[in-house]
Amino acid sequence: MSARSPQEVAHLAADTMWANDPTSRELGMELVEIAPGRAVLAMTVAPHMTNGHDTAHGGFLFTLADSAFAFACNSYGDTTVAAHCSITFVRPGRRGDRLVATAQEVSRSGRSGIYDVTIAREGVTIALFRGHSRTIGGSFIAPAENAPQSSDSEAS
Amino acid sequence: MSARSPQEVAHLAADTMWANDPTSRELGMELVEIAPGRAVLAMTVAPHMTNGHDTAHGGFLFTLADSAFAFACNSYGDTTVAAHCSITFVRPGRRGDRLVATAQEVSRSGRSGIYDVTIAREGVTIALFRGHSRTIGGSFIAPAENAPQSSDSEAS
Amino acid sequence: MSARSPQEVAHLAADTMWANDPTSRELGMELVEIAPGRAVLAMTVAPHMTNGHDTAHGGFLFTLADSAFAFACNSYGDTTVAAHCSITFVRPGRRGDRLVATAQEVSRSGRSGIYDVTIAREGVTIALFRGHSRTIGGSFIAPAENAPQSSDSEAS
Amino acid sequence: MSARSPQEVAHLAADTMWANDPTSRELGMELVEIAPGRAVLAMTVAPHMTNGHDTAHGGFLFTLADSAFAFACNSYGDTTVAAHCSITFVRPGRRGDRLVATAQEVSRSGRSGIYDVTIAREGVTIALFRGHSRTIGGSFIAPAENAPQSSDSEAS
């Protein structure tokens, strides 16, 4: 019998998501850390992500935070989507900044979860994001090889 | 003397923003309508905007709404930025959908404004966005040719 | 056979809620209008609702908006609760102001709804509220007298 | 010369606010902790705070969180108001529950601040609140006795 640990599930979930998410890869995002309920992504602000003032377009900051949120809320291996997100822009991001988005679960109850994401540049907060997730399906990762067949069919 | 009408200012502001916003252009956005406090943008969901399930990545929906918001809150010609935004995903967007984002001002008081953006596909709401703006500077459009020189030096 | 019209259901739902909501009554709220997906409540800012500056405590403004939201999202007669709410304070409310909160549905899909509430004083916006609702149970109003007994047992 | 420490300022600010906030007192709130950028308030759900299902009215939960937020964002002694707040109701509060609201600053930049408030019952999260503040004036606490007269006339 080889039940997976929560950390193994989180890694598998991240691998599966990464393979299916060309957007995050094309934007140059990098998965720095993954754990149950937590994900850290990094991205450098490319010239094409800025507007006329060389400040990062809010859409890219949102996309970075949203991706970190997605990795964190899917880290249990069950299909989970964003229902509602809010973002506050605290300071502008600049061309060339390496931004780090840290997503941390703050609540999970039934099928609903809340995740806080902080985007920082060298430790200084650029933006704060709060995401509300909704689990809509069962496991999206391959079952463990010698797991009993019924093991993930009882998804709530 | 040729004072510009609010509608002329909105058009000039949109032209200036469009010229400085490669992101919106590269994503294939199209400016459908502009007026004081209002903007309508359209975008078709390209294959690279979807995830493994062929549903539009939330980041692209946010970016579309955020752009419509930016055009609307800058339509008076004064430099205005996003301070806080929230978005609710009501239905998934699909590959090939032509999405229309309609931004409408709901409040403006001092330097603060609130704009509601609805993203719809053939009249059906896909997402609702509410943006809070902050005016941070004076006019960013070229002064009217025969306007008195001091005309935009009294920016609040 | 006497099927109720949506407007009759909205009235019955409001009557039932009003009877069970001592808070709204004690705060002096008044139901001005009720319709499917819509409710208008009014309240005068009493001295005990203000702080040291004679401006209305944000908690009372929220409570007024939240009550209008509750009447609107329960107007179909199915038990519906608030999941997430946001409020922006645009202008201060003052002692003695008669405030009118207008709640209007902007989206309803499955068990989830979104309602916008505007609080105004003589037509000037004081606060904007957006509420996200979740329907959690079946009908809470008495069945129509000669309705078939099973009529509301098939609540989803 | 007796410059006050940040902790002394936070205590003085809380005393001043408490004296001017009959609402929080009448609702039976209790100030558990105060520090720069942080405040903890407790309140027991009284029968009149519940609706027909004996669950706490969302307006009272919001008011508790909003008060904790106000104490935290005013803890530097400068007049600061709520601009935008959001609240997510995670679990219902019940009659008789002793609820503890913990407000913690997560960002402060210029005149804008962001504070997260968690409402919990015996350590279990009931609601999550995020408040955006705006500092609108100078110090509202009495100047230190032997401070130079001009000390708080240079409000930012």
* Chain segment B64-98, per-residue pLDDT in tens: 999 999 999 999 999 999 999 999 999 999 999 99
**pLDDT value of position B146:** 56
Report ipTM for this prediction. Answer: 0.89
* Chain segment C80-111, per-residue pLDDT in tens: 999 999 999 999 999 999 999 999 999 999 99
* Chain segment C38-83, per-residue pLDDT in tens: 999 999 999 889 876 678 999 999 999 999 999 999 999 999 999 9
Judging contacts by C-beta atoms under 8 Å, the chain A residues touching residue B128 are none
Judging contacts by C-beta atoms under 8 Å, the chain B residues touching residue D132 are 84
CB atoms within 10 A of CB B61: 28
Residues 6 or more apart whose CB falls under 8 angstroms from that of C139 comprise: C77, C78, C79, C152, C155
Residue B17 confidence (pLDDT) above 60: yes
Neighbours of chain A (3+ CB pairs under 8 A): B, C, D
**pLDDT value of position C137:** 86
Chain centroid to CA C36: how far? 11
**pLDDT value of position D80:** 95
Residues 6 or more apart whose CB falls under 8 angstroms from that of D145 comprise: D2
Residue B155 confidence (pLDDT) above 70: no
Residue D6 confidence (pLDDT) above 60: yes
Kindly list the residues of chain B whose beta carbon comes within 8 Å of any beta carbon in chain C: 86, 88, 90-91, 106-107, 109, 112, 114, 116, 118, 125, 128, 130, 132
Q: Which domains can be identified in chain D, with CATH numbers?
A: 6-142 (3.10.129.10)
Residues 6 or more apart whose CB falls under 8 angstroms from that of C8 comprise: none
Q: Is B53 helix (H, G, I), strand (E, B) or coil?
A: coil
* Least confident residue range of A115-124, B14-23, D14-23, D142-151: D142-151
Q: Mean pLDDT across chain B, nearest whole number?
A: 89
**pLDDT value of position D2:** 62
Pairing mode, if any, of strands B78-89 and A78-89? Answer: antiparallel
The closest alpha carbon to C111, from C152, C149, C81, belongs to C81
Distances, alpha carbon C126 to alpha carbons B36, C91, C120, in Å: 22, 5, 5
**pLDDT value of position D153:** 38
Residue A144 confidence (pLDDT) above 60: yes
Q: Please tell me the distance from the alpha carbon of residue C65 to that of residue C74, in angstroms, as a whole number.
A: 14
Average pLDDT over every residue of D125-142? 93
Cβ burial, residue B10 (10 Å; 0-12/13-18/19+): buried
Kindly list the residues of chain D whose beta carbon comes within 8 Å of any beta carbon in chain C: 19-23, 26, 48-49, 51-53, 57-60, 62-63, 66-67, 81-89
Q: Please tell me the distance from the alpha carbon of residue B9 to that of residue A22, in angstroms, as a whole number.
A: 39
Judging contacts by C-beta atoms under 8 Å, the chain C residues touching residue B124 are none
**pLDDT value of position D142:** 82
Q: Which helix (H) or strand (E) holds D109?
A: strand D98-109
Chain C residue with CA closest to B91: the answer is C109
Bridge partners, residue A94, by sequence: A55
Query: Which backbone phi and psi does A146 adopt, to 5 degrees?
Result: -105, 30
Size of interface A-C (CB pairs under 8 A): 6
* Chain segment B21-55, per-residue pLDDT in tens: 888 888 999 999 999 999 999 999 998 888 766 78
C86 and D82 in contact by Cβ < 8 A?
Answer: no
For A91-94, the CB contacts below 8 A with 24+ separation are A91/A124, A91/A125, A91/A126, A91/A127, A91/D109, A92/A53, A92/A55, A92/A56, A92/A126, A93/A45, A93/A55, A93/A56, A93/A60, A93/A61, A93/A119, A93/A121, A93/A126, A93/A127, A94/A45, A94/A50, A94/A54, A94/A55, A94/A56
User: How many helices and strands in chain D, by DSSP H and E?
Assistant: 3, 6
DSSP strand E in C96-142: where? Answer: 98-109, 112-121, 124-139
Query: Which backbone phi and psi does D33 adopt, to 5 degrees?
Result: -155, 145
Q: Mean pLDDT across chain D, nearest whole number?
A: 89
**pLDDT value of position C52:** 66
Of B144 and A13, the structure prediction assigns the larger pLDDT to: A13
Distances, alpha carbon D103 to alpha carbons D39, D42, D67, D71, D114, in Å: 5, 11, 9, 8, 10
Judging contacts by C-beta atoms under 8 Å, the chain B residues touching residue D84 are 84, 132
Q: Give the pLDDT band (50/70/90) at residue C142.
A: confident
Distance from CA of C117 to the nearest CA of A (A): 18
Q: Please state, for a pLDDT cut of 90, what percent of chain C lies above it.
A: 72
Q: Please tell me the distance from the alpha carbon of residue B47 to that of residue B7, in angstroms, as a whole number.
A: 36
Judging contacts by C-beta atoms under 8 Å, the chain D residues touching residue B83 are 112
Residue D72 confidence (pLDDT) above 70: yes
**pLDDT value of position A152:** 41
Q: Please state, for a pLDDT cut of 90, what percent of chain B lies above it.
A: 72
CB-CB: which of C86, C112, C125 is closest to B107?
A: C125
Chain centroid to CA C12: how far? 14
CB environment C4-19: b (16+ within 10 A), e (fewer): eeeeebbbbbbebbbe
D86 and B84 in contact by Cβ < 8 A?
Answer: no
Residues A20, B48 contacting (CB under 8 angstroms): no
Judging contacts by C-beta atoms under 8 Å, the chain B residues touching residue D114 are none
State both tokens at C129: 């509220």
pTM of the model: 0.90
Average pLDDT over every residue of A10-38? 92
Q: Give the pLDDT band (50/70/90) at residue A107.
A: very high
String of DSSP letters for B61-119 = HHHHHHHHHHHHHTTTSEEEEEEEEEEEE-S--BTT-EEEEEEEEEEEETTEEEEEEEE
Kindly list the residues of chain B whose beta carbon comes within 8 Å of any beta carbon in chain A: 19-23, 26, 48-49, 51-53, 57-60, 62-63, 66-67, 81-89
Distance from CA of C28 to the nearest CA of D (A): 14
Torsion of CA B68, B69, B73, B74, to 10 degrees: -50
**pLDDT value of position B24:** 85
